[in-house]
Amino acid sequence: MHISRQSPEQSVTEPIIRMQNVNKWYGQFHVLRDINLDVAAGERIVICGPSGSGKSTLIRCINALESHQQGSIIVDGTQLTDNLKKVEQVRKNVGMVFQHFNLFPHLTVLENLTLGPVWVLKQSQAEAQARAMQTLERVRIPDQANKFPGQLSGGQQQRVAIARSLCMNPKVLLFDEPTSALDPEMVKEVLDVMVNLASESGVTMLCVTHEMGFARKVADRVVFMDQGSIVEQNTPDAFFDHPQHERTRHFLDQILH
Amino acid sequence: MNTPSPDTGLIAAQPAPAGKVGLIGWVRMRLFASPLNILMTVLIVWLLMMGLPPLLEWALLKANFTASNAQECRAGPGGACWAFIREKYRLILFGTYPYDEQWRPLLATLILLAVIVCSAIRRFWNLWLVAIWVVGLACVACLMWGGLAGLTYVENTRWGGLPLTLILSTFGIAFAFPIGVILALGRRSNMPVIKALSVVYIEIIRGVPLISLLFMSSVMLPLFLPEGMSIDKLLRAQIAIIMFAAAYVAETVRGGLQAIDRGQIEGAQSIGLTYWQTMRKIVLPQALRIVIPPLVSIFIALFKDTSLVVVIGIYDLTLSAKASLSDPLWRGFSIEAYLFISLIYFVFCFAMSRYSKQLESRLDTGYAH
């Protein structure tokens, strides 16, 4: 096993995620085209775009849930290859929140939260449980610790899922449309947790979402994708108020009515 | 009557509909709900009336429990001859094991059953269980083989009856289950060689009857072994049973694995679990819960299929029942003998079935699968 770590002298400006000329195909279908994206540590990025534009695939490449066929992805100094050790190394530092929560239904909320810390980070049960309870306080559902996920509402489940990834102490958090599968009245409770997370912690966030209010409030940068390419990226204000490209304007018209 | 009251806007409370509660309601709903239902009820009552009285008469009223020989039984009014079972139960239960030493297989059977019951209790699902099994099996081996602590040595060719059936099926299940799980994972593996090996194994074993596997293990295998080397006949039969059941377990477990959403694996990967951790902690617990009913069917079938070892002359419960019929003084009571062993098989299979049902509801955490 050989993990290439970044050298200390360049660490200040070195991005935590660097994607260079990344290409990916599903069979004949070209999902990602020449993606170049640098993300600085602590940066919050919102990725948006029409469905099928490759935005989910892009963030799923960052923790190697999808493999890319061309180009290079370096996450926190580790280059993603087929090497499973490196993939596991990256996943330790990169948390992910899914559209459909993907909680483990046969385990209680507390067990969901302690599984990774105990088995991957080798914490003791007691330590992991104490931290899990703190994290549940943070997402404001400490009283649900001993329930099973199936007994919670969608919004509560997604907050548990956020807590599950936070328990791993990640440097990067990926959100794959975290509010799309929720009933409308539950969207806010999840977004509130995410906003708090952004303001209270220094974690790097990449969020695929269509919640433009959230993007304006939290994002340092909005990335717009279409047909597998990054079309435009800018600060939220500039992005929403002065979109540069015709496709961006068209997309914004569609979602902002 | 159903109009809401003008004051409260609520419908007034009403008595339960007549003819839908109580004994009459139950009978009407369950037995006489539709013409077809009525027909079936009448048909079943008629069949019971035709069949039950003669059966009771044969099995109980006219049966002979006390006869000391076959002539007395035959001279009776034509009922069952349970005296035969009284005379032969030790031969049926313990086969050709030396008569005076039969307390040993009895004790071994009880210990084995105790170990199995402990394994079924969730409180013991920890390292204790390993200790219980090691000690239990050591005791069973000592008792069955003997040769130490003043017990005479008994070759395993003389073992027979219920203990043998229990040993074959216990080890059959205990080994077929993990092997089957590994084969199922192998068949879904991304690694082509492992996948191919698993598929070939499963398909070949599933395509061959158990009887032919037993024959091959007993007749063909010794031909291929180098001279002077031999594997015990009982062990060979045991291996054949394990190999056979493992293929079925594998396919059943694979069905369960396919039912697990891909998101579960991604969720596990996203917190950094390795492949084996993901399987052990996330996928298998869910997949196995789903396949408890078919899995238990396989185990029940395995328990009964151990009786096929008769074809290679191992005295399990079935063959020792047959042996009990060959006594010239007690000819012609095969119905009694086979009913007796059927009852034994049924008790064990029914216990497995009930346990699986209980296990299923206990592992239910309220998610839809």
**Whole-angstrom distance, CA of residue A32 vs CA of residue A230:** 9
Enter the DSSP assignment of A74. E
Q: Partners of A30 in the beta sheet?
A: A25
B281/A119 touch (CB, cutoff 8 Å), yes or no: yes
Instruction: Report CA B354 to chain centroid distance, whole Å.
Output: 11
pLDDT tens-place string over residues A125-156: 999 999 999 999 999 999 999 999 999 999 99
A165/B267 touch (CB, cutoff 8 Å), yes or no: no
Closest CB from B270, B273, B366 relative to A151? B366
Is the CA virtual torsion A180, A184, A188, A190 positive or negative? Answer: negative
Are the beta carbons of B41 and B32 closer than 8 angstroms? yes
Judging contacts by C-beta atoms under 8 Å, the chain A residues touching residue B273 are 115-116, 119-120
Type of residue numbered A113 = L
Judging contacts by C-beta atoms under 8 Å, the chain B residues touching residue A65 are 266, 269-270
Closest CB from B264, B269, B369 relative to A91? B269
Mean pLDDT (whole number) for B162-190: 92
Q: Looking at CA atoms only, how far is residue B355 from chain A in angstroms?
A: 20
Are the beta carbons of A174 and A59 closer than 8 angstroms? yes
Helix (H) or strand (E) holding A73: strand A70-75
Closest by CA position to A43, among listed A13, A72, A63:
A13
Mean pLDDT (whole number) for A12-36: 90
Q: Which residue has the tokens 């369960």?
A: B256
pLDDT at A2 over 50: no
Any chain B CB within 8 A of the CB of A229?
A: no
pLDDT tens-place string over residues B38-79: 899 999 999 999 999 888 888 887 877 877 777 777 777 777
Helix (H) or strand (E) holding B333: none
Any chain B CB within 8 A of the CB of A91?
A: yes
**Whole-angstrom distance, CA of residue A136 vs CA of residue B35:** 59
Chain A residue with minimal CA distance to B290?
A106
C-alpha torsion angle, residues A211, A213, A214, A218 (rounded to 10):
150
pLDDT the model gives residue A8: 44
Is the CA virtual torsion A141, A147, A153, A158 positive or negative? Answer: positive
A65/B365 touch (CB, cutoff 8 Å), yes or no: no
Chain A residue with minimal CA distance to B367?
A150
* pTM for this model (two decimals): 0.83
**Whole-angstrom distance, CA of residue A43 vs CA of residue A219:** 8
How buried is residue A161: exposed, middle or buried, by Cβ count under 10 Å (0-12/13-18/19+)?
buried
Q: Looking at CA atoms only, how far is residue A249 from chain B in angstroms?
A: 34
Which of A56, A63, A85, A102 would you mutate first to test chain B, the one with the most B CBs within 10 A? A102
Q: Number of H helices and number of E strands within chain A?
A: 9, 10
pLDDT tens-place string over residues B337-355: 899 999 999 999 999 999 9
**Whole-angstrom distance, CA of residue A209 vs CA of residue B43:** 65
Closest CB from A88, A98, A105 relative to B274? A88
pLDDT at A31 over 90: yes
B31 Cβ partners below 8 Å, 6+ apart?
B37, B38, B41
Q: Partners of B350 in the beta sheet?
A: none
Q: Are strands A94-97 and A17-26 parallel, antiparallel or unpaired?
A: unpaired
Long-range contacts from A72-77, C-beta under 8 angstroms, 24+ separation: A72/A18, A72/A19, A72/A20, A72/A21, A72/A22, A73/A17, A73/A18, A73/A19, A73/A20, A73/A22, A74/A17, A74/A18, A75/A16, A75/A17, A75/A172, A76/A16, A76/A17, A76/A171, A76/A172, A77/A3, A77/A4, A77/A5, A77/A6, A77/A14
Q: Please give the span between the terminal C-alpha atoms of chain B, in angstroms, as a whole number.
A: 43
Are the beta carbons of B291 and B67 closer than 8 angstroms? no
| ipTM score assigned to the predicted complex | 0.89
Q: How many other CB atoms are there within 10 angstroms of residue B367's CB atom? A: 15
